[in-house]
Each structure stands twice: as C-alpha cells, then as structure tokens.
Structure 1
C-alpha cells in the first residue's frame, strides 16, 4: 500500500526532476546557442592546400559555344520578323479581300482599286519594306477581278 508521505515524496521528486531538466534545456539552447557565431577552428591540413579562385574559366579557358549558338545583344534579339507577327499578315489579307469584294459588288475598276489600296498601305506601313511583298503580290493577283502587271503591283507599295 502507498502511504501519503511516499506519494508526496514521489511528486516532489518528479517536480524537482522537471525543474532540473528545464534548467538544462534552457542552459543548452540559450547559453550554448550564443556561441554559434564563433569562427570555426583551423584545420592542420588547410595550410597545405591552395585556394582556387572563383574564376575557374580562366584556368581552363573560355567555354566554346555549341554549333549554331551565338551571343547577341538585346537589341538584335528576336524570334519573328515584325511583319510575320501573329495576325498581321492574315489581317492584311482580309482587308485586301474586303476591298476586292466591294469592287466586285460595285463593278469597280482597276483605278478604283488603286484609289482604295493606299488605305491598306497606310494601315500596314511595314509591308512595303517587308520580305513578304512577293507573297502579298501573289495574293493580290488571285483576289482582284482584273489583271495587274508586275509594274502595277510594284507601284502599289511605293
């Protein structure tokens, strides 16, 4: 049978044990934790080793770029010619088709086409300097209801 005095002694021993354990934990984490900023100890072998500089490419030379890879400035970098941007050429072709449709409905002539085409040239100023002029001329030849000579097609863009 457990007596009251031994029961109190057991509780007292547990309480003292927890206080001591708490004190050790506080000492370990707070007091010992302050010394973490101390510099590392020197090693004997470190004196015999040379430090290698960070510029490792100077030791071996500059790396060779892969075939087809080149370094360019930010101004020269781009993926697509501005004329070939998504939607620009199809929009221009749609406008040309619309003009041809109006000419067909109103029985327009070649002169009417030459009067209306400067609107397209003003809307798409890049087209006259683009490498797509030949492609656009072929498209115009297909759409218009009359014949255009190569000189007339070239004059469209000037």
Structure 2
C-alpha cells in the first residue's frame, strides 16, 4: 500500500499534518498572543496586570529622582564636584596659558628650524636668518620670564656653539 504513494504526496501529507498539529497547539495554548500578533501588537503600552499590584504601594518619587534605599551618600571630607574646565594640576594660574600659548609655539618653531638645518646642513648664519623670522613673529617673547629655558633649549640643540651674548641678543 505504501508503494502507491509518491514522495511528493508523502511530503505534502507531512506538511499538512504538521501545520494542522501546530495550528491546534497555537489555538489552544497561545490564543491571546495570536490575537496580539494579528492585531499588530495593539498600540496601548499598558503594563500587564499583576495579582500582587493591589498590595504594593506606589512610590512618591519618579524613578529618576530616587536616591536609593538609604538616600544620597555623603562625599568624603574635602572632596567636591567640579566641571572638566575647572580641573588643573598646576599651582600657578599662568601655567595653563603658558602650556597653551607662546612658549610651546616658539619651541615648536625652534624644533622646525633645527630640523631644517640638519637636513640642509645649515650654519650659524642660516640659523640667525631663520631666527629673524621667529623674532618678527614672536617679538614679545624677549620679556617672558621663561626666556632662560628657551635659550637653554637653543644652546642644547644647536649644531654649533653659541655664546651667552649671542643667545641674549637673539631676542632683541
């Protein structure tokens, strides 16, 4: 008798019986979920009712304002909350402006000059010619209290010897 059925008929029968079985299971056990699925989820965002909801007190505060069971914790003595702009690690108020201002710019120019001199095998006269451009660009640097550190940087990185008088006259 089984020889009279083709494979195509067999698979069609399996498909039909399987779909009938799962349809019966869905209709018996998942009827509410099926109704929600077919109605595209009903746009109401109500929470599901709970048996215990009538025995629970509603909180007086919104969840964003809730401070926890014990309230807000007290910060440690001597600490405070500050914004990112108020954080600094230097003792001197001018330290921040020096880090972001004139001195780093001049040092960067000097590094570029030394790099050019190294590539082109420059001499002392080439250095003084390039320093005229730096002096014109940063004329106010001569009165800066950190000019000693700049001159020391120049003396350490120059490929030739510079006397104290030459270093002092460099910014005049």
**TM-score range for the pair, normalised by the shorter chain length:** 0.3 to 0.5
Determine which structure has greater relative contact order: mean sequence separation of CA pairs < 8 Å that are 6+ residues apart, divided by chain length: 1
Normalization by structure 2: what TM-score? 0.43
Structure with a larger share of its residues in helix: 1
